Each structure stands twice: as structure tokens, then as C-alpha cells.
Amino acid sequence: MEFDLIELIRRHCAQPRDDVRIGIGDDAAVLAPPPGQELAVAIDTLVEGVHFPRGTAPADVGWKALAVNLSDLAAMGASPAWALLALTLPTADADFVEGFVEGFVRLARPLRLALVGGDTTRGPLAISVAVHGFVPPGQALVRAGARVGDAVLITGTLGDAAAGLHALQHPVREDDGRAGLRDFLIERLNRPTPRLAVGTALRGQATACVDVSDGLLADLGHICTASGVAAEIEAALLPRSSALLELHDETSALHFALSGGDDYELCFTVPAGRVAEVQAGLARLGCGATKIGRIVEGDGVRVRGADGAWLAAGRPGWEHFA
């Protein structure tokens, strides 16, 4: 059955690329990075009940397992090329694998991302994906580089995924006419959009960049730590979807936006004088970017409320071993 599953995966995920000399079917892949490019590599593991709720549709699991890794490449300004997949299953469930690869391929195929190898094994449901991408020498985006006076920007909207998880954990028993809003938030949780075009557009423009996986406060905090600076955020400027604001009061919506995580938007810094130019460039790509604060001297992240007072520090975001 293991080899049947491998063949099923290979058949669905085949993606011809000239730089794949040997793909699935041998003990290792043989790959040929293009000359004049550096290789960016990222890996993430998703565990059922931790990174996605039990009962999540297999196609959604497949999409998200790839998307969260592609988001890491986006945060580095890299263009994706290859992936490895390690799939751990309680049983040799061909139906699950069929659905999983459907979601995986739906995201991979338009990007011409080739699955070049991996492994299947028995155990609690977990998925590890490693992605490889290319970036011109010296142009990778990093967390260390934010400077005092830089503006802090965020793509898309914040808090949707956390609110989607809340919707799954607190189902509504009676139809209140807002099911479509909850479905939108759940879709943002299950099928995040990796901001790959934004990442490549920010090469040479952003001074620092990170993807928001664990929550804005936590991930912007990583930029601050790596850069030796602090950040001041204006709560009133945080971009939040109409679905989030219609379903939740201001306190809850703000909490989701600051600490919820799983949105996989890009948070980045640029010189203050280039904000309008960068925003206009990203708008042409179909992705908005909102200025939410600035980089200052010190350490950590502070949030100013709508009344001008600093908000009390809470839990910054998701921690695996908290």
C-alpha cells in the first residue's frame, strides 16, 4: 500500500522542469540550481489537532501544508521551484491522499513547483513539507535590517484566520444570517495565500521582512530582536476585514489581529520616504499594504490604542511549547 500511495502522489504531482534531473522514484532527487542564483530552503510540519483542526478537509490540509512553506519563501523574496513531502498517516488512506494532493497541486501547479521526493510512514497524522526557491545573490529579504525611522507595513488583513478557528470551535446552532461571513474567515484559515509576488517585489526595497504565522506581535517582535530596534504600532491602523469586524466586537477583533496568527501576510519595513512608492507598486500586483507603525529605538513592540494610550502587553502570539 505504501508504494501505491507514493505512485498516487507522483501521478498527481508530476511537474516537468528542466532543473529536475531526477525526481520521484529514486533514493534521492538530483536537482540543478540555475547559475547566478542562491537557494532559499524552508521546512514546516503540520500536526493534526495542533496546526489544523481534526476533520479538516484533506484538500484544505494539502493546500495549507504547502502554503505555509511558500509563505516563508515569500518572506525571503524567493521564487519557489521544488518541494519535498513527508506524509505520516494512521492508515494507508488512499481517499485522504487523493484529496490531499488535490489541494497541494491546486496551489503548486500555477507556480510550476515540482514535488521531487519525500516519504510516507505510519503514525499520527502529520505533514512535513520542505520547499526550495531561488533568489538573486545578496537580495534575500531578512529580519535583521530594520532601522530607526522606518515605517512598518502589513499586506492584506489581520485576524481572519484566528477568527476562522474561533468559528470552528464555537459553531452557531441556529441560522443567524451570517454563515457567509464565518465561511470567509474559515477559508482564510484553511487556504492562506502566500504573498510570493509581494516578496519578490520587495527585493531591494524592504529593509526587513517576516511572514505573520504566529501573530503580528510575535513576528514583528522577531524583526525587532534581529534588528536591535523597537516598533510602535497604531491599533486604529490595523487592516481588518469586514467579516471580522461584523462578527466580533472591537476588543476581540483587535486581539485576533495582534496575536491570532495563521494569516501568512507579510510584515515588512521600508524607509519612511518610500512608503507611497512601495504601496503603489504592490497595488499594481493586486495586493494592498497598510502602514501600521514605525521603527523606534529600544526593544520590543508597543501598541497605541485609539485613545492614544499604550495598550497593556498580552500574550504576543502562538508558542508551540507554551
Q: If you average pLDDT over every residue of the chain, what do you get?
A: 91
**111 and 185 within one domain:** no
**125 and 208 within one domain:** no
Between 245 and 24, the more confident residue is 245
Range of 68's domain?
2-135
Q: Which three cell numbers stand for residue 154?
A: 502589513
Q: Among the three residues 135, 162, 194, which one is the final residue of a domain in this structure?
A: 135
Q: Which three cell numbers stand for residue 165?
A: 478557528
Quote the pLDDT of residue 293. 98
**232 and 157 within one domain:** yes
Q: Kindly tell me if the per-residue pLDDT of 321 is higher than 50.
A: no
Between 70 and 93, the more confident residue is 70
Quote the pLDDT of residue 35. 94
Other beta carbons within 10 angstroms of residue 161's beta carbon come to: 27
pLDDT digits (tens, 9 = 90+) for 91-126: 888 888 899 999 999 999 999 999 998 888 899 999
**298 and 160 within one domain:** yes
Q: Kindly tell me if the per-residue pLDDT of 2 is higher than 60.
A: no
Sign of the torsion angle spanned by Cα atoms 203, 51, 53, 93: positive
Between 71 and 4, the more confident residue is 71
What is the number of domains present in the chain?
2
Cα radius of gyration (the chain): 20
pTM above 0.85, yes or no: yes
Quote the pLDDT of residue 299. 94
**202 and 97 within one domain:** no
Rounded (10°) CA dihedral 110, 116, 117, 123: -10
| 137-146, 161-170, 242-251, 311-320: least confident range | 311-320
Quote the pLDDT of residue 92. 81
pLDDT digits (tens, 9 = 90+) for 279-311: 999 999 999 999 999 999 999 999 999 888 998
Average pLDDT on 156-164 reads 96
Q: Nearest CA to 159 among 303, 257, 265, 266?
A: 257
Between 42 and 318, the more confident residue is 42
CATH number at residue 54: 3.30.1330.10
The beta-strand segments (E) located in the chain are 20-22, 30-31, 38-47, 79-89, 114-122, 126-135, 151-155, 208-211, 230-234, 266-270, 289-296, 300-304
Q: Kindly tell me if the per-residue pLDDT of 85 is higher than 60.
A: yes
Q: Kindly tell me if the per-residue pLDDT of 48 is higher than 60.
A: yes
Quote the pLDDT of residue 243. 97
